[in-house]
Amino acid sequence: MEMAKTKLLIVTHEMSPFLELTKISEITRQLPQAMQDKGFEIRILMPRFGNINERRNRLHEVIRLSGMNIIIDDNDNPLIIKVASIPAARMQVYFLDNEDYFQRKHVFRDKEEKFYADNDERTIFFCKGALETVKKLGWAPDIVHCHGWMTALVPAYIKTTYKNDPTFKNSKVVYSIYENCFTETLNADLHKKAVMSAMTLEDTKMFENANCDTLHKGAVSYSDAVVLADENIGSDVLKFVKDSNKPTLAYNLTENFENFYTLYEEISNEELASIA
């Protein structure tokens, strides 16, 4: 009997060749390819920022997935889903689009380099929208690997609102910490706006004072494993990761995708080990 393929969901705000801001884009391009070569089934989700060229990258709307509304602060925000294939890899990337949040020429800062005031809501929209999209795909991931600060709420949502949802109840969550973040603080109400059904303010307390380190710590606290994807991570965050006692892939091991495979296997088999 053939073993079921491990299903790996990659959630990221950038990926080569679509958007290349930092080294996250390289890792999110190479890692899923390496895991697909090992027989994993892959899905990738990212925002459709306005500077991603739809024609060149051959994005097209997926009508059956579009048409949902994501509620933030009592406002309905339409979610449009587009898809593109990576020619060399037989991998599909799903793009989450919304006119108000993503149809801009710049990603996180305007042309004057000013941090967008609504980056908090853009983050909430992306994290909620990603999980709702996967539900609509009817595809239950074994592992959800979140890359970078814009995905920081995904672990919290999976372990609270979605913990009994058939799509996510068996998912293990990995969070990769990168240093290239931002120096500002997101809107002071982020932790209030982020609350979803079946959650309380207590569940998002970790995200108060939403600077970069706070987002990382909040994500780590809800994750099953952590990847230190940069050598220049703040000592405060490093201590938090160490104290969490979660399986951690050290920075000097992240160059080798074999180590990601081992980490995925380790956390996937944890339950089997604890039952044995």
Residue 170: CB partners within 8 Å, gap ≥ 6? 140, 142
Mean pLDDT calculated for residue range 15-33: 92
Q: Is the per-residue pLDDT at 271 higher than 70? A: no
Pairing of strands 172-177, 68-72: unpaired
| Each residue's pLDDT tens digit, 211-226 | 999 999 999 999 999 9
Backbone phi and psi for residue 236, each to the nearest 5 degrees, phi listed first:
-65, -45
Is the pLDDT at 275 greater than 70? The verdict is: no
Q: Characterize the bridge pairing of strands 68-72 and 60-61.
A: unpaired
Q: How far is CA 172 from CA 13, 138, 240, 246, in A?
A: 20, 17, 20, 12
DSSP 13: S
Q: What mean pLDDT comes out for the span 158-170? A: 94
pLDDT class of 177 with cuts at 50, 70, 90: very high
pLDDT at 274 over 50: no
Spatial distance between the Cα atoms of 100 and 50, rounded to a whole number of angstroms:
11
Mean pLDDT of 72-83: 91
Domains detected in the chain: 7-275 (3.40.50.2000)
The predicted pLDDT at position 232 comes to 86
Name the more confident of 148 and 251: 148
CA angle 145, 255, 215 (to 5 degrees): 40
Residue 252 pLDDT greater than 80, yes or no: no
Q: Please give the residue that has the higher pLDDT: either 184 or 88.
A: 184
Instruction: Please state the φ and ψ torsions of residue 112, each to the nearest 5 degrees.
Output: -90, 10
pLDDT of residue 3 exceeding 70, the answer is: no
Share of the chain above pLDDT 70, in %: 96
| Distance, CA of 106 to CA of 120 (rounded, Å) | 16
Report whether 162 contacts 132 (CB < 8 A): no
**184 pLDDT above the threshold of 60:** yes
Calculate the average pLDDT of the chain. 90
What are the tens digits of pLDDT across the range 37-71? 999 999 999 999 988 888 888 888 888 888 898 89
Which residues, in sequence order, are bridge partners of residue 70? Answer: 77
Q: What is the mean pLDDT of residues 242-264?
A: 88
How far is Cα 276 from Cα 100, in angstroms, rounded to an integer?
A: 50
In which band, very low, low, confident or very high, does the pLDDT at 200 lie, cut at 50, 70 and 90?
confident
* Cβ count within 10 A of residue 145: 28
Say yes or no to pLDDT of 133 above 70: yes
Q: What is the mean pLDDT of residues 228-257?
A: 89
DSSP state of 169: T
pLDDT for residue 270? 65
